[in-house]
Structure 1
Amino acid sequence: MMQNPQPIEAYMLPGKRVHLVGIGGVSMCPLAEVLRGMGLSVSGSDIRESDAVQRLRSLGVHVDIGHSAENLGNCDFVIRTAAVHDNNPEISGAVTRGIPVYERAQALGAIMRRYPNALCISGTHGKTTTTSMCTHIFMAAETDPTVMIGGTLPLLHSAYRVGKGDTIILESCEYCNSFLSFFPTVAVILNVESDHLDFFKDLADIERSFRRFAQLVPENGHIIANADNDGAMAALKDLGRPVFTFGLERTAHCTAQALEETADGLRFDVTVYGKPYAHVTLPLHGRHNVLNALAAASSAYILGLPGSAVERGLAGFTGAGRRFERKGVFNGADVYDDYAHHPDELHALLTMAKALPYRRVVLAFQPHTYSRTAKLFDRFVEELKLADVTVLAEIYAARETNTSGISSNDLCRQIPGSVYCSTLEQVTERLRAIAQPGDLILTVGAGDIYRAGEALLRG
C-alpha cells in the first residue's frame, strides 16, 4: 500500500471528488452521506445491490455494482472499508495511478476532530442501540449533535445527521482496530468479548485493542465503562487514570434503582454517585437494554446534560432499525427482526423474548461469516437451543470465502428439532408453514435474513 503524502483532511474539502469502495456497508453509507453534505462529489461501488445502495442513488450518488478500476473515474482520493483488501481492483488501480487511498476510520477520525466533544460508543455488542439512545437524549437536550450510527434510527429517518452543535456521537467499531484512528474525548466501552477472530488473535488481543482505544482519550476527556463486564474491566485494569463506571451487579458510579419490567417496557431510577439523576421509562425489554441506557445516561451526565433530557430522550426510544424491530403480523404471529450475530447478543435477545407473553419463540437465524461461526460454534449451538423452534439459513459470507467448509447445516445437526434451509426463499416458506397465532417470529442476523421476514409479510 502506498504511503499517502498528505493527511486525509487535505482532501476532505468542498468540491473534491471521493470514491468509496464498499459504499453499501452499514458505516460506509452514512459516511458517504456526510461527505456529500460537506460538499464533496461522492461516488462508490459495492458487490451487490442493497437498500443502502438504492438510498444513495436516490440522493444522486453514483454507485457501481462490482469492482473495477474503471469505477474510480477522475476521483481525487479513495476511502475503503476494512473488508476491502489490497488486491481489490479499485485499490490496486488507485495505487497504480497515484490516487491516495485512506481507511474509512481515518475519514471518521478527521470528521470528529472538528468537534469539541467526540462521544465514541464502543463494545463488542450494543453499540448501535446505545449510540441511538445517546442521540435521542442529546436531541431532547437540543444540543443539535452530529451523529453517525451503524443502523437506521427512526428519529432521524437515517443513519446519520449533520448538526451545528459542538458534539459528535459516533458508533465506534473495533474490527481491524478501526477505532484506533479516532479522536474520542469521551470513550464508552460497553463490553469486551471474543469476536472478529478472523482479525484478532484471542480475547487478550481484543482487550489490548480496547485499552489502546481508551488511551486515545486526552487527559481532560472521559472514559466510561461497564463495571459488570469482565472483559471491559480487564482491558482498563491499572490504566492510571479515572474511569467512570456504570452497572447493575457490581459497585459503579452510575446504576439503576427500583428496576421494574412491565408489559410496556422498563422503569427505573438512574443514580449517579448515589444521588438521583433521572427516572427512566424505556419502551424496551431486557437487562441488556438497562445497561445500554445506563451507558447513555452516563454519557449525558459526563457531558453536563440534565437528567430531564435523559428522561425525555429514552421515553421516546423504541429501538434502532434491525434491533428488535417490529415488522408486522402473519397468521396471528408477530414478526420482528434483529441484527444479533454474536452468541452474547443471541442470549440477550432470546432471553428477553422468552420472557414476553408469547406461546412460542420461532427463530430464523442466519450466521454471519464462516470464521465467527466456526470459532464460536459451541456457543452458537448453546444459545440457539433457547428458541422453541429454530430455522437456520445458510451462513452469510460477508467479506469471507468458505475455506473451512462449514455450513449452517452443521449447527442444525446439533440442535434438536431445528431445520436447515439453503436459501432465504426456503426460510420464508418454512416460516409460512409453521407460523401460528400467539407466536413470536424472529428473523435474526447481520446479513440479509430480514428479507425472509419481509417476504413472509408480503404473503
Structure 2
Amino acid sequence: MSRAATLDPARNCCPENPSHIHIIGICGTGMAALAGMLKQVGYRITGSDQNVYPPMSDFLAECGIPVLAGYCAENLRDTPDLVIVGNVVRATNPEAIALAEQQIPYLSMPQALGEFFLAGHRSLVVAGTHGKTTTSSLLATTLHRAGCTPGFMIGGIVEAFGRNFNISQAPYFVVEGDEYDTAFFNKVSKFHHYRPECAILTSVEFDHADIFADLEAIKASFAEFIERIPSHGVLVAHTDDEVVRELTAQARCPVIGYGVQDNCRWQVKDVTPHGVSTTFTLAYDHKNIGEFSLPMPGVHNVLNATAVIALLHHLGFALDDVRRGLASFEGVKRRQQIRGCVAGVTVIDDFAHHPTAVAETVKALRMAWPTSRLIIVFEPRTNSSRRSIFQQNYAVAFQGADQVIVREHVPLDGIPAEQQFSSTTLVKDLKARGMEAAYFPDTDTIIAHVAGVAQDGDVVAVLSNGGFDNIHDRLLIALAATGKKSFA
C-alpha cells in the first residue's frame, strides 16, 4: 500500500514573517500566478511540478523563480518557512509526505491568497457555475478604466493587463470564486477562503461530478459561501435562475437581482447584436437608465456585464464611467477569442464545456455571424463531460450550429464504461435531430477534415477547456496549406 501524508492541522497556518516559500504544483495557472504575486512583493519563491513546460515554465523563469522538475523529498531539503500545496497534489505525493514528516507550516492556494492578498482589501468575489472568468475580467477592467485599478486573480488572461493577476494598493481585490475543492487536506470549495465583502452569483448548476455527488451538494457549498458575505456587504445575483433565487432567499446581506424578468431590480431590455458587439438597454427599479455597449456577442455576456454594472453602481461608481469601461473591454483569452482568419475561415477558441455554456456560446456565435456556416469542434475533456451524466444534455446544446465535430474522449480511469460519455452516441443523437455531425478519434483527423470542408465565410469554433493539442494554430496552418482563397 502506498504511503500517504498525514498533515498536522496545527501546521495549517502562515508562520510569522516567512521569507522562503515553496510551492508544490507551481505550474498550474492559479499557482503560477500566486507565485508571481508573492515574488513581486518580495518573498523568495521556489517550486516543483511534474509538468514543467511552456507557457508557465517561461513565465516562472521570467519571474526569476526556480522550478524543480518532478516531486521528491529532496525538494524540501532547504527547509522553507512555508509550503503552499496545489490541489493537483495528492496525499501520496512524495513531497507532501516529506512536508508532513518535517512539520513545515503549509497552506493551500486559496488560503495563501486570502492570507497574503485579500487581507486589508475589499474582496469582490465572482462565483457561479458559468461566466466567472468573463465577469471577473469585466469587473477588473471596468474598475481599471474608472481610475481604481484593482488587485485581481482570475482564471484567464485579461487582455487589458496581459496577465491573470495584478497587485494594487487600491481598496478592491477581484477574485474568481471557483467552487472546485481546495486541497487534499481541505476538501471544501476554494471560494470559502476568499473573504467576500461583495459577491456576484451568476448561476448554479450541477458540475464537477468528480467531487460533488449531486446538485444538492453543490447548493450546500454555495449556500455556505453566501453565508460568508457580511451583513454590510452585498450579493448581486442572477435571479432569473431558480436555484439562485432559492439560495439567495437565505442571505443575511442585501441581495440585488439582475436578469431579464420584470422582478429583477436590474432588468435587461432590447438586446441588439452588431456583429461581435452588442448593445442593450437597462432598467433600474423599473426606470430606464439608458443604453450600454459591449464588444462581445451573446445574451449571456450582456447578463455578465449587467452584474458588473449593478455591483459598481452599488459601490458608488458613476454609470457613465462604467459605461465607458465596458465599451472598451478587450476580452479574455479563450472566451470567444478569434485566433485567426485564413482563406476566409474564422477560427475561434472558447472554453465552453458544460452543456449550458456550450448552448449559450453557440447562440452567441450565431448572433455574431447570422449568415455564416458555423462549424463547432467539441472536445469532451473535463471530469464531468467525460461522464454520461450530461450525455442527453449535449444532444440539445449544439442547436444553431451547421456542423458539429466531436473528438473521442480520453476515458476516465476507474469509471465503468456505461458511466462514461460516448462521442459516437452524441453524433448519432445529433444526426437524429437532423443536424450534420461527425466523430473523429483524434486531433489530426479533425484538422484534416475541417481544412478539407471549410469554405470562405465559415466560422469554426473550437470548444474545450484544454489546449486541444494546439488545434487552433495547426488548423490555421492547414487552412493556409490548402491554397483556398478568400473572396471577401
**Secondary structure of the residue that 2:206 maps to in structure 1?**
coil
Give the corresponding residue for 1:318.
330
1:25 to 2:28 alignment: yes
Unaligned stretches of 5+ residues in structure 1: none
The equivalent position to 2:401 in structure 1, one of 382, 387, 412, is 387
The equivalent position to 1:107 in structure 2, one of 107, 112, 115, is 112
1:222 to 2:225 alignment: no
Give the corresponding residue for 1:96.
101
Compared CA separation, residues 93 and 349, structure 1 to 2 (3 A): same
Task: Answer yes or no: is the 8 Å Cα contact 2:14–2:82 preserved in 1.
Answer: no
- Aligned pairs for 1:418-429 (under 5 A) are 418-429=437-448
Give the corresponding residue for 1:161.
166
Give the corresponding residue for 1:255.
267
Give the corresponding residue for 2:243.
231
1:181 to 2:183 alignment: no
Give the corresponding residue for 1:330.
342
Sequence identity percentage: 27
Give the corresponding residue for 1:56.
60
1:287 to 2:292 alignment: no
Deviation of 1:178 after TM superposition, in Å, equals 1.2
Residue type matched to 1:27 in 2?
Answer: G
Task: Determine which structure has more spread, i.e. the larger CA radius of gyration.
Answer: 2
* Separation in structure 1 between the aligned mates of residue 98 and residue 402 of structure 2, nearest angstrom: 51
Stretch deviating more after TM superposition (48-57 or 220-229): 48-57
* Separation in structure 2 between the aligned mates of residue 72 and residue 420 of structure 1, nearest angstrom: 47
Give the corresponding residue for 1:82.
87
Deviation of 1:241 after TM superposition, in Å, equals 4.2
Unaligned stretches of 5+ residues in structure 2: 1-5, 182-188, 479-488
- Aligned pairs for 1:182-197 (under 5 A) are 182-197=194-209
Number of residues of Structure 1 aligned to a counterpart in Structure 2: 455
Map Cα deviations across residues 109-147 of structure 1 (whole Å, 9 max, x no partner).
223442341100000010000000001110011112101
Compared CA separation, residues 311 and 82, structure 1 to 2 (3 A): same
Compared CA separation, residues 59 and 352, structure 1 to 2 (3 A): same
Compared CA separation, residues 33 and 276, structure 1 to 2 (3 A): farther
Structure 2 length as normaliser, TM-score? 0.87
Task: Answer yes or no: is the 8 Å Cα contact 1:368–1:445 preserved in 2.
Answer: yes
Deviation of 1:386 after TM superposition, in Å, equals 4.4
Residue type matched to 2:193 in 1?
Answer: S
Task: Answer yes or no: is the 8 Å Cα contact 1:366–1:396 preserved in 2.
Answer: no
Residue type matched to 2:38 in 1?
Answer: L
Give the corresponding residue for 1:70.
74
Stretch deviating more after TM superposition (378-387 or 290-299): 378-387
Residue type matched to 2:458 in 1?
Answer: D
Stretch deviating more after TM superposition (429-438 or 250-259): 250-259
Residue type matched to 1:80 in 2?
Answer: V
Give the corresponding residue for 1:140.
145
* Separation in structure 1 between the aligned mates of residue 87 and residue 247 of structure 2, nearest angstrom: 23
Structure 1 length as normaliser, TM-score? 0.92
Residue type matched to 2:234 in 1?
Answer: H
**Secondary structure of the residue that 1:418 maps to in structure 2?**
strand
Deviation of 1:385 after TM superposition, in Å, equals 5.5
Task: Answer yes or no: is the 8 Å Cα contact 1:32–1:42 preserved in 2.
Answer: yes
1:15 to 2:16 alignment: no
* Separation in structure 2 between the aligned mates of residue 115 and residue 127 of structure 1, nearest angstrom: 23
1:415 to 2:418 alignment: no
Residue type matched to 2:386 in 1?
Answer: T
Map Cα deviations across residues 256-289 of structure 1 (whole Å, 9 max, x no partner).
3443222352112333334455631111111101
